[in-house]
Each structure stands twice: as structure tokens, then as C-alpha cells.
Amino acid sequence: MTFSSSTFTPVYRTGEIRTVEKKAGDGLMERAGLAAAQIARDLNVGHGHGVLVVAGPGNNGGDAFVAARHLKAWGNKVEAVFAGDAAKLSMEARTAFDAWRASGGSVLAVIPDDRRWDLVVDGLFGIGLQRALANEFAALVQIINRIEAPVLALDVPSGLDADTGRVLGCAVQAEHTATFIALKPGLLTLDGPDCCGKIHLCPLDIDAATLCPPHGAVIGNSVIKDMLPPRRINSHKGDYGNVGVIGGAHGMTGAALLAARAALQLGAGRIYVGLLDGNALPYDPAQPELMLRSPDELLKLPLDCLAVGPGLGRSPDAHYAVEAALQSALPLVIDADALNLIAAEPTLQRIVSQRTSPTVLTPHPAEAARLLACTTDEVQADRIKAAPDIAARYHACTVLKGAGSICATPDGAWFINTTGNPGMASAGMGDVLTGIIAAFIAQGTDVKQALLAAVHLHGAAADEVAATLGGPLGITASEVITAARASLNCARERQR
């Protein structure tokens, strides 16, 4: 797949980075070390305590020695700790080590416990780490994390799996990460965002996409550009699509209503809600514009997109509603218990995979595990694999929700979303996302673009709410709907 550089920033797994490095030729360590030193120089707060550089036994350590040499040449006080055997270094890393010694730099075997530093450079391990840190390396990480100075990690924080974002035993908690050539998925999903701090991308004068076409990318802010055409003055609600939402079993009607409210406020013309709770109010007091019907009645309406699952439950009526929805020719957004019912029923799985109309699946990790017949831990262990696996198995565009949500398409492409914050860990957030996706599809947006734009906007809206409130604590799904509407309108105005 070709990614537009204006909309998507490529992301590479370790094997792809190795391909790029091989094709790019020699001199990468010198370029990487210089780039890191320039960032370190800008971060050095200048209290006179100098910089501690911790170098490991591989090429990440070589990058660290190059950075140390440049920082020393620029007049900084630099102390270097080497956790390795110089005789076992690669040729390039040994050259960097020797150049540091030749510049007058000394090498310490342990981190002194009686020093202070303005900055710590973590060059212990990079993208090649495959095993959990233990013994002296784990002890070094723990010492680095206790030092009262900001940490700049080189390529990835030591102990973080560059491909998955898993912490391998323990990991450096960095305030900054200088990552080389291209972004790595582990920086952006699972535990990566908690470990890497601010990411500084250092391309090293390499156009990675020309050397190795990417399979993954970060969703950019411009994903919503031209997503929806300007509205004609001479238009009416029928021009902007009809959305149906089926869900809301007893005790869970709020989930379906949240999805419906999101669809309405994000621009769909008419919203119908089919609640399974037959004793619910016949209208939504907070959003009387919504039209409530029985699920059977709703399925007979001329809809442009149907969302099924929010608050659905797993009753026989819920099963019937899911099967009827899957057998329709409507574009579908499938969430929550609709996913669980599909995961538990091979017949429904087959129907999903054979649909010719657009289908979007929106699982959280536990739902994804059920869809893949594995454990939640297995899903979280490699989110970049799990999301495309679901998309391919069910022939559906998929978002695996969580920190660094992963969107995937059936052709194997995957996208990481970097908007959003911990305040989204609250009830109803997934229902709102479902409604936004359905609204965009109903208004005529291509299903893949609708998914990417909705996921990105959903997180960005939560970021707006957090900024307004002064932090993420207590953000509600309803507030995110309002912020998403405002953000979309502002984005569209900027494009005029």
C-alpha cells in the first residue's frame, strides 16, 4: 500500500529497519550518534553537572559513544559507563568506542552513586533486544530510573520491545527518545508511550520509504481533510445519511443512546435507535432528535449505515439482531456484545467474513482475543499482529482499541493512532467511537477513511477535553462527543 507522506508517517518493524540499514550503506552509527548528541545538547539544562552516557554491548552502545564524543567536543562534561566487553563489539561499535577513548574520554564500569548529572543518555539496548533484561542490565535500568535527571533514550528505551511496546522485564523510563531512520511501533502502542516520553524522529538523511515500502503508518492530523465535501446551502437532512443503532438491553440503554448521539452530532442526517429494552422510554430526553424504534422496525428502514452492539447483551433477541444485521446489505459497524456473539458462533463468523458490504469491527483487547480464539495477553503481546489478523480473518476494517489504537485493513496495512489520553478509560468511550464511525460512513465517506478519521478525531477530542479540564481525570464520553463536533467543524473551516 502507498502511504501519502502528508497524511501518514511510516512506521517500521525491526526486520524492515534492518533492510533499510543494509540498503542505506555505511556511516549510520556516526550519523545516529551525531543526531542524538544534537538533541542532548539542546536538552542539557546547563547546571554544570554534565551528561552521563550509558553504553551497552551492541550497536546502540556504539551510537552512545559517538554521541558522547560529540558532546565532549562541544565542551560538555561527559562521563561514560560501558556495560559490555570491548573485544566483542561489532567493528563499527568498536570504532566508536576507540574514537571515544582517543578523544580523551574515560570509561567507567559502573554508574557512580555520588554524582549528579543534568542529563542521562540511555544507550544500553536498541531495537535488537529480544529477551527480558536481568542481572546487571536490569540493575542498570533501575539505577537509571532512580537518577534525578531527564533521560534521553537512543532509538528505543532500553528494555522496550521495539515491535510490540512490551516491557521486557524492566525498561528505562525516558523523558525523551531519539529514534533513528523511522518510527517503531513499540514506541507508540501498549507500554511504549509510558516509557519513551517525547519522540524525536531522526531520519539520518535516509528516505526509508524508497528503500523499503512500509506496511504501517501513524495516522496524521490531515486524515480528515476532504473527508466530507462542503455542505451545499440548498440541502436537507436526507442528504447526510440515515444511521441505525441496535443495542441497549435492559440496564444498558445508555450505551446505544451514546452511540446514537455521537452519530447525530457528527453530522448524520437522521438517527434511528432500536433498543432491546422494551420498557425504555419511547424517546431520549437528552437528545429528543433521536427516533426510537424496535430493532425489527429499524432493520426495515432505508439506512445508510447500521451500528450494532452498544449495550446489546447476549440474549436470544441480541443474537437474532446480530444475525439479521450481518445478513443485510448495509455497511456495518460492529461493537461490544455483537463482537462477543460473533466470536462464540462459527456460523456468524462465516457470515461476517463473506459479507460484500463494508464491515468495521471495533474490539478492545479482550474482545479481540475472543475473535482470534486466543488470550488477551497474546493479543497485547503483539497488537500490530493481532489487528491485521482480525481484519484478514473477518475481511473487515478493524480497530484494536487501547493505548495506541491499531487500525487495520484486510489487505494487511496497519495504522497507529497517537491521539487520546488516559481519561478515555471510562464508560461509554467505545460507544461514542462506534457512533462517529457510523456517522462518517452514512455521509458517504469511504469505510477505511471513515475508520481512520473517526479514531483520530475521537482521541483528539478527548485531548481537547483534557486540556480544558486541566487533566484527564473525570472525562466523560458525552463531553468527547461535544468536543469531537467542535474539532471537526474547526478542521473543516480551516480547509475552506
What's the pLDDT tens digit per position in 413-472?
A: 999 999 999 999 999 999 999 999 999 999 999 999 999 999 999 999 999 999 999 999
How many Cα atoms within 13 Å fall on the side-chain side of residue 147?
A: 31
The shares of helix, strand and coil residues in the chain, as percent rounded to the nearest 5, are 45, 15, 40
**Can you list the alpha helix ranges (DSSP code H) found in 44-170?**
59-73, 91-102, 135-146
- What percent of the chain shows pLDDT beyond 90? 92
Query: How are strands ordered across the β-sheet holding 107-108?
Result: 107-108, 78-82, 51-55, 119-123, 151-154, 176-180, 198-202
At 404 the pLDDT is 97
Domain segments of the chain as ranges:
8-214, 222-495
- Looking at residue 127, what DSSP letter applies? T
At 119 the pLDDT is 97
- pLDDT for residue 1 is more than 80: no
At 193, list the grid cell: 508511550
At 493, list the grid cell: 473551516
Residue partners of 211: CB distance under 8 A and separation at least 6:
19, 20, 23, 24
Neighbours of 106 (CB within 10 A): 10
- pLDDT for residue 39 is more than 70: yes
Average pLDDT in the chain: 95
pLDDT tens track for 121-173: 999 999 999 999 999 999 999 999 999 999 999 999 999 999 999 999 999 99
Q: CB–CB of 133/169 below 8 Å? A: yes
Phi, psi angles (nearest 5°) of residue 409: -115, 160
At 319 the pLDDT is 98
Band the pLDDT of 227: cuts 50, 70, 90. Answer: confident
The helix or strand, by DSSP H or E, that contains position 336, with its residue range, turns out to be helix 336-343
Q: Please compute the mean of the pLDDT values over residues 205-215 and round it to a whole number.
A: 95
At 470, list the grid cell: 486541566
Q: How far apart are the first and last CA of the chain?
A: 29
What is the bridge-based pairing of β-strands 305-308 and 332-334?
parallel
At 224 the pLDDT is 86
pLDDT tens track for 344-395: 999 999 999 999 999 999 999 999 999 999 999 999 999 999 999 999 999 9
* Residue ranges with strand state E in 294-411: 305-308, 332-334, 359-361, 397-400, 406-408
Q: Exposure of 251 by Cβ count < 10 A (0-12 exposed, 13-18 middle, 19+ buried)?
A: exposed
Q: With CA atoms as reference, report the closest residue to 476 among 431, 442, 427.
A: 427
At 4 the pLDDT is 45
CA distance 177 to 157: 7
What is the bridge-based pairing of β-strands 242-247 and 305-308?
parallel
At 228 the pLDDT is 85
Q: With CA atoms as reference, report the closest residue to 184 among 60, 70, 62, 6.
A: 60
- pLDDT for residue 495 is more than 70: no
CA distance 380 to 37: 34
One CATH from 3.40.1190.20, 3.40.50.920, 3.90.1280.10, 3.40.50.1370 for 222-495: 3.40.1190.20
What is the CATH topology of the domain spanning 8-214? Rossmann fold (3.40.50)
Q: With CA atoms as reference, report the closest residue to 480 among 420, 437, 439.
A: 420
How many Cα atoms within 13 Å fall on the side-chain side of residue 156?
A: 32
Q: CB–CB of 407/415 below 8 Å? A: yes
How many Cα atoms within 13 Å fall on the side-chain side of residue 174?
A: 33
CA distance 486 to 496: 16
At 496 the pLDDT is 55
At 462 the pLDDT is 98
Give the three-state DSSP class for 109. Answer: coil
Q: Please compute the mean of the pLDDT values over residues 244-271 and round it to a whole number.
A: 98
- At residue 157's C-alpha, the angle toward residues 39 and 381, to 5°, is 145
Q: With CA atoms as reference, report the closest residue to 344 among 307, 308, 318.
A: 318
At 408, list the grid cell: 487495520
CA distance 151 to 16: 27
At 176 the pLDDT is 98
The helix or strand, by DSSP H or E, that contains position 292, with its residue range, turns out to be strand 291-293
Q: Please compute the mean of the pLDDT values over residues 187-215 and round it to a whole number.
A: 97
At 172 the pLDDT is 98
Q: CB–CB of 386/372 below 8 Å? A: yes
- Looking at residue 224, what DSSP letter applies? G
At 487, list the grid cell: 474539532
